[in-house]
Structure 1
Amino acid sequence: SPANHVAGRKKPRGPKLDVDRVSRQEILRIDAPSGSRFKGYRSVYVRDLVLKAELVHYRRECWVTPDGKTVLAPLPTGIIGGYGANLRRLCLMLHAQGQVTTQRLTTLLNDVGIAISKRQIVRLLTRQLEGFVAEDAALLHAGLVASPYVTVDDTGARHSHNNYYTTQIGGADFTVFRTTKSKSRLNFLSLLRGGYQDYVLGDAAFDYLKERRGNPPVVHGLRTFEPQHFCNQVPFMAHLADKGVDILNRQEIGTLAEAGLWGSIRHHGLMANTVIVSDDAGQFRVGNHALCWVHTERLLQKLMPTTAKEERLVTMVRDLVWRFYKALKAYQQCPSPQSAPAFRRRFDRIFTLRTGYEALDTLLERLHRRKNELLKVLEYPGIPLHTNASENALRTFVTKRKISGGTMSQDGRVARDVMLGLMKTC
Structure 2
Amino acid sequence: MRKYWIEIKVEISKKQRSLLLFLQEQSLYTEYTMNKDLRSFDFSNLDLEPEIQQILSQLLNHVEHLTAELEKVKKENQDLRDEIARLKGGKGKPKIKPNKTDADNEDDEDEQSNKKKRRPKTNKNSKNSKARKKRIKIDREETIKVDRSELPDDVKVVGYREVTVQNIKFETDNVLYRLEKLYSESTGKHYEADMPKECEGQSFGSGIEAFILLLYFQLRVTQNKIHKLLTSIGNVISEGQISNVINKKHLDKFEKEREEIVRAGLESSSYQQTDDTGARENGINHHTIFLGNKHYSSYFTERYKNQETMKNLLHFLDEPSENEEVSKEFGDYVKILIADDAPQFHNITELRGLCWWHEVRHFEKIRPCFLHNRKILEDFTGKVWDYYEELENYKKKPSQEFKEKLSSDFDDLFSTVTGYDLLDHRIKLTGKKKPYLLLVLDYPEIPLDNNLSERGLRKVVIKRKISNGTRVKNGTKAWDVFLSILETCEKNYVDFYEYLQDRISSDYRMPSLASVLSEQSHLTVPTTF
Same fold (TM over 0.5): yes
Q: Counterparts of 1:183 and 1:62 in 2: how far apart (Å)?
A: 60
In structure 2, relative to structure 1, the CA distance for the partners of 1:302 and 1:265 (3 Å cut) is closer
In structure 2, relative to structure 1, the CA distance for the partners of 1:130 and 1:38 (3 Å cut) is farther
Q: Which residue of 2 aligns with 1:291?
A: 354
In structure 2, relative to structure 1, the CA distance for the partners of 1:17 and 1:356 (3 Å cut) is closer
Instruction: Answer whether contact 1:352 1:365 (CA < 8 A) is retained.
Output: yes
Which deviates more from structure 2 when the two are superposed, residues 118-127 or residues 105-114?
Answer: 118-127
In structure 2, relative to structure 1, the CA distance for the partners of 1:10 and 1:309 (3 Å cut) is closer
Q: Counterparts of 1:309 and 1:338 in 2: how far apart (Å)?
A: 37
Listed as ranges, the matches of 1:338-357 within 5 Å are: 338-357=401-420
Instruction: Answer whether contact 1:193 1:265 (CA < 8 A) is retained.
Output: no
Q: Counterparts of 2:324 and 2:183 in 1: how far apart (Å)?
A: 50
Instruction: Answer whether contact 1:197 1:231 (CA < 8 A) is retained.
Output: no
In structure 2, relative to structure 1, the CA distance for the partners of 1:63 and 1:326 (3 Å cut) is same
Deviations 1:283-306 (CA, angstroms, capped at 9, x unpaired) = 122311001111111112223445
Identity among equivalent pairs (%): 28
Instruction: Answer whether contact 1:150 1:276 (CA < 8 A) is retained.
Output: yes
Q: Counterparts of 2:135 and 2:358 in 1: how far apart (Å)?
A: 46
Deviation at 1:27, TM superposition (A): 4.5
AA at the equivalent of 1:117: S
Q: Is 1:407 matched up with 2:470?
A: yes
AA at the equivalent of 1:95: Y
Q: Counterparts of 2:201 and 2:458 in 1: how far apart (Å)?
A: 32
Q: Which residue of 2 aligns with 1:141?
A: 263
Deviation at 1:156, TM superposition (A): 0.7
Match of 2:256, SS?
helix
AA at the equivalent of 2:342: A
Deviation at 1:380, TM superposition (A): 0.9
Deviation at 1:33, TM superposition (A): 0.8
AA at the equivalent of 2:287: Y
Instruction: Answer whether contact 1:141 1:194 (CA < 8 A) is retained.
Output: no
Which deviates more from structure 2 when the two are superposed, residues 302-311 or residues 322-331?
Answer: 302-311
Deviation at 1:414, TM superposition (A): 1.7
Unmatched tracts of structure 2, length 5 or more: 1-122, 491-529
- Between Structure 1 and Structure 2, the one with more helix by share is 2
In structure 2, relative to structure 1, the CA distance for the partners of 1:377 and 1:103 (3 Å cut) is same
Deviation at 1:328, TM superposition (A): 0.8
Q: Which residue of 2 aligns with 1:39?
A: 157
Deviation at 1:53, TM superposition (A): 1.8
Q: Is 1:90 matched up with 2:211?
A: yes
AA at the equivalent of 1:39: V
In structure 2, relative to structure 1, the CA distance for the partners of 1:106 and 1:314 (3 Å cut) is same
Q: Is 1:50 matched up with 2:169?
A: yes
Match of 1:383, SS?
coil
In structure 2, relative to structure 1, the CA distance for the partners of 1:49 and 1:88 (3 Å cut) is same
In structure 2, relative to structure 1, the CA distance for the partners of 1:45 and 1:345 (3 Å cut) is closer
Instruction: Answer whether contact 1:156 1:165 (CA < 8 A) is retained.
Output: yes
TM-score, with normalisation over the residues of structure 2?
Answer: 0.60
Q: Counterparts of 2:336 and 2:331 in 1: how far apart (Å)?
A: 14
Q: Which residue of 1 aligns with 2:342?
A: 281
Q: Which residue of 2 aligns with 1:5?
A: none
In structure 2, relative to structure 1, the CA distance for the partners of 1:365 and 1:27 (3 Å cut) is closer
Backbone CA RMSD of aligned residues: 3.3
Q: Which residue of 1 aligns with 2:286?
A: 164
Match of 2:240, SS?
helix
Deviation at 1:81, TM superposition (A): 4.8
Q: Is 1:108 matched up with 2:229?
A: yes
Q: Counterparts of 1:311 and 1:88 in 2: how far apart (Å)?
A: 57
AA at the equivalent of 1:51: F
Q: Counterparts of 2:404 and 2:250 in 1: how far apart (Å)?
A: 55
Instruction: Answer whether contact 1:198 1:261 (CA < 8 A) is retained.
Output: no
Q: Counterparts of 1:87 and 1:399 in 2: how far apart (Å)?
A: 24
Deviation at 1:94, TM superposition (A): 1.6
Equivalences, count = 356
Listed as ranges, the matches of 1:139-288 within 5 Å are: 139-193=261-315, 195-196=317-318, 230-232=324-326, 261-262=328-329, 266=332, 270-271=333-334, 274-285=335-346, 286-287=348-349, 288=351
In structure 2, relative to structure 1, the CA distance for the partners of 1:280 and 1:108 (3 Å cut) is same
Q: Is 1:418 matched up with 2:485?
A: no
Q: Which residue of 2 aligns with 1:125?
A: 246
Deviation at 1:367, TM superposition (A): 2.2
Deviations 1:201-258 (CA, angstroms, capped at 9, x unpaired) = xxxxxxxxxxxxxxxxxxxxxxxxxxxx9424xxxxxxxxxxxxxxxxxxxxxxxxxx
Q: Is 1:330 matched up with 2:448?
A: no
AA at the equivalent of 1:163: N
In structure 2, relative to structure 1, the CA distance for the partners of 1:309 and 1:109 (3 Å cut) is same
Match of 2:130, SS?
coil
Q: Counterparts of 1:77 and 1:331 in 2: how far apart (Å)?
A: 54
Q: Counterparts of 1:140 and 1:163 in 2: how far apart (Å)?
A: 25
TM-score, with normalisation over the residues of structure 1?
Answer: 0.73
Which deviates more from structure 2 when the two are superposed, residues 156-165 or residues 33-42?
Answer: 33-42
Which deviates more from structure 2 when the two are superposed, residues 168-177 or residues 305-314?
Answer: 305-314
Which deviates more from structure 2 when the two are superposed, residues 188-197 or residues 324-333?
Answer: 188-197
AA at the equivalent of 2:266: L
Instruction: Answer whether contact 1:185 1:283 (CA < 8 A) is retained.
Output: yes
Q: Which residue of 1 aligns with 2:30?
A: none
Q: Counterparts of 1:265 and 1:319 in 2: how far apart (Å)?
A: 36
Deviation at 1:109, TM superposition (A): 0.9
Deviations 1:159-179 (CA, angstroms, capped at 9, x unpaired) = 122111111112111111111
Among candidates 49, 73, 91, match of residue 194 of structure 2: 73
Q: Counterparts of 1:152 and 1:64 in 2: how far apart (Å)?
A: 63
